[in-house]
């Protein structure tokens, strides 16, 4: 009895190469694979719920236009998040610095312990505002590290800095933010 | 690297369930207020991720991205075609200008205009007889020898006024 063939999930590298060779399905797969995480990254960075879809679309559009810029030193996702961060910054500039954070009823809890959940929601929102207010490199390093578990070498490659500098940015961010969750 | 720094480096990994605290790390965490505060922060940051809205339809989003990319490629192709056309038009305009210049030299320049050859403005062509038109056409069809009918070696013989006229002819 022969073993059934195992269908391997294509790597980001393989999909990027396929797109460069003209396979649009590969690009669609990359979007499906990374769009949800990119949306979460943008939300944590301060984007409002209503504009996340547009920002994710804009970020992937920019990414595919300059796909040759990704050479694999950083993971595709980290590289994408750096582009998403640029898109968010450009949107922020377009609005001339107007605050983008919003708290609406969808952020409020609806579970059995409303008091505890409300406190958690308030802490989360305070943290989100604190993250959004960080200097850009501190914010990106902190989110890539705390939400993606990326190492300093990978973060440095994605953000165009050094691992040592990334470590310093991370610790500055932690120092600023931990007062917000005490 | 002290215990706090070592613990700090491990926090994302443990928070994302890619590892667990060792007994030694857990003991340090239980006694160090600064590390506990950082640990709470890292967990809150992880949970922030979970509070984010979900992308409603990643496939539709992918289609939108591909559509924008295709539209941009089409725009680039159109722009290239427009530039190619503009280049051809410019080349054609230059060629016409050069040929027209030669024609002017043929009909107006010194030692160029043959006696008896009329310089006829186009609107007056209608008034010419067939024989006159034939003569005019023959004169236009005559090949231009050597690319120019002007003998530059004779320029030194001209007066200033005549030279001005030659230069004005060259420059159109």
- What is residue B105's predicted lDDT score, i.e. its pLDDT? 62
Return the minimum-mean-pLDDT range out of A92-101, A124-133, B72-81. Answer: A92-101
Of B56, B65, B72, the CB nearest to A60: B65
Cα A93 to the center of its chain, rounded Å: 19
- In chain B, whose CA is at the least distance from the CA of A131? B45
Phi, psi of B54 (to 5 degrees): -90, 150
Calpha distance B79→B74 (Å, rounded): 9
Of B44, B53, B68, the CB nearest to A127: B44
- What is residue B142's predicted lDDT score, i.e. its pLDDT? 62
Region at A7 (left for phi over 0; alpha for psi -120 to 50; beta for the rest)? beta
- What is residue B154's predicted lDDT score, i.e. its pLDDT? 59
Four-way CATH pick for A12-180: 3.40.50.150, 1.10.1740.10, 1.10.3720.10, 3.20.20.70: 1.10.1740.10
Mean pLDDT score, B110-119: 51
Specify the higher pLDDT residue, B102 or A84.
Answer: A84
- What is residue A119's predicted lDDT score, i.e. its pLDDT? 79
- In chain A, whose CA is at the least distance from the CA of B67? A61
Of B70, B141, B82, B77, the closest CA to residue B106 belongs to B141
Averaged pLDDT score across all residues of chain B: 77
Reported as a pLDDT band with limits 50, 70 and 90, residue A26 is very high
Return the minimum-mean-pLDDT range out of A106-115, B5-14, B46-55. Answer: A106-115
- What is residue B160's predicted lDDT score, i.e. its pLDDT? 73
Mean pLDDT score, B110-134: 61
Calpha distance A178→B5 (Å, rounded): 15
Contacts of B13 (CB under 8 A, 6+ apart): A149, B19
- Please give the share of chain B, as a percent, with pLDDT higher than 90: 33
- What is residue A105's predicted lDDT score, i.e. its pLDDT? 41
> What is this structure's pTM?
0.66
Phi, psi of B47 (to 5 degrees): -70, -25
Calpha distance B73→B67 (Å, rounded): 10
Calpha distance B126→A132 (Å, rounded): 80
Question: Which residues of B are less than 8 Å from A61 in CB distance?
Answer: 65, 68-69
Of B62, B3, B78, the closest CA to residue B36 belongs to B3
Count of Cβ atoms closer than 10 Å to residue B91 Cβ: 10
| Contact check, Cβ <8 Å, A36/B58 | yes
Phi, psi of B52 (to 5 degrees): -65, 150
Domain ranges of chain B: 3-51, 58-170
Residue A165 has pLDDT above 70, yes or no: yes
| Contact check, Cβ <8 Å, A146/B12 | yes
- What is residue A103's predicted lDDT score, i.e. its pLDDT? 45
pLDDT digits (tens, 9 = 90+) for A29-73: 999 999 999 999 999 999 988 899 999 999 999 999 999 889 888
Residue A14 has pLDDT above 80, yes or no: yes
| Contact check, Cβ <8 Å, B45/A131 | yes
Among B4, B35, B49, the strongest candidate for a mutation testing the A interface, having the largest count of A CBs within 10 A, is B49
- What is residue A152's predicted lDDT score, i.e. its pLDDT? 94
Question: Which residues of A are less than 8 Å from B50 in CB distance?
Answer: 40
- What is residue B107's predicted lDDT score, i.e. its pLDDT? 62
Three-class secondary structure assignment of chain A: CCCCCCCCCCCHHHHHHHHHCCCHHHHHHHHHHHHHHHHHHHHHCCCCHHHHHHHHHHHHHHHHHCHHHCCCCCCHHHHHHHHHHHHHHHHHHHCCCCCCCCCCHHHCCCCCCHHHHHHHHHHHHHHHHHHHCCCHHHHHHHHHHHHHCCCHHHHHHHHCCCHHHHHHHHHHHHHHHHHHCC
- In chain A, whose CA is at the least distance from the CA of B18? A149
Specify the higher pLDDT residue, B81 or A126.
Answer: A126
Mean pLDDT score, B120-132: 67
- In chain A, whose CA is at the least distance from the CA of B5? A171
Interface of B with A in 38-97 (CB under 8 A): 38, 40-42, 44-56, 58-59, 61-66, 68-69, 72
Residue A97 has pLDDT above 60, yes or no: no
- What is residue A124's predicted lDDT score, i.e. its pLDDT? 87
């Amino acid at each position: 009895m022969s073993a059934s063939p195992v269908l391997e999930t294509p790597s980001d590298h393989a999909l990027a190469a396929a797109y460069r060779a003209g396979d649009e399905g590969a690009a669609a797969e990359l979007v499906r694979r990374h769009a949800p995480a990119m949306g979460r990254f943008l939300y944590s960075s301060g984007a409002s719920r209503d504009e996340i879809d547009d920002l994710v679309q804009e970020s992937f559009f920019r990414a595919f236009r300059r796909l040759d810029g990704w050479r694999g030193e950083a993971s595709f996702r980290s590289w994408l998040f750096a582009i998403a961060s640029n898109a968010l910054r450009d949107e922020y500039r377009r609005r001339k610095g107007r605050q983008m954070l919003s708290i609406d009823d969808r952020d409020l809890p609806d579970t059995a312990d409303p008091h505890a959940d409300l406190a958690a929601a308030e802490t989360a929102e305070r943290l989100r505002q604190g993250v959004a207010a960080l200097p850009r490199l501190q914010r990106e390093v902190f989110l890539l590290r705390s939400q993606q578990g990326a190492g300093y070498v990978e973060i440095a490659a994605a953000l165009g800095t050094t691992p040592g500098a990334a470590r310093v940015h991370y610790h500055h961010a932690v120092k600023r933010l931990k007062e917000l969750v005490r | 690297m002290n215990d706090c720094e070592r613990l700090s480096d491990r926090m994302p990994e443990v928070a994302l369930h890619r590892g667990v605290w060792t007994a030694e790390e857990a003991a340090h965490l239980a006694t160090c207020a600064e590390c506990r505060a950082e640990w709470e922060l890292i967990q809150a940051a992880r949970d922030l991720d979970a509070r984010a809205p979900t992308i409603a339809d990643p496939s539709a989003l992918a289609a939108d991205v591909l559509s924008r990319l295709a539209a941009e490629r089409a725009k680039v192709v159109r722009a290239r075609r427009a530039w190619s056309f503009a280049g051809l038009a410019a080349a054609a305009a230059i060629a016409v200008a050069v040929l027209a210049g030669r024609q002017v030299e043929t009909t107006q320049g010194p030692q160029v205009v043959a006696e008896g050859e009329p310089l006829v403005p186009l609107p007056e062509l209608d008034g010419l007889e067939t024989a006159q038109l034939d003569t005019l056409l023959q004169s236009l069809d005559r090949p231009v020898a050597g690319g120019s009918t002007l003998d530059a070696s004779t320029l030194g013989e001209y007066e200033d006024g005549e030279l001005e006229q030659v230069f004005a002819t060259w420059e159109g």
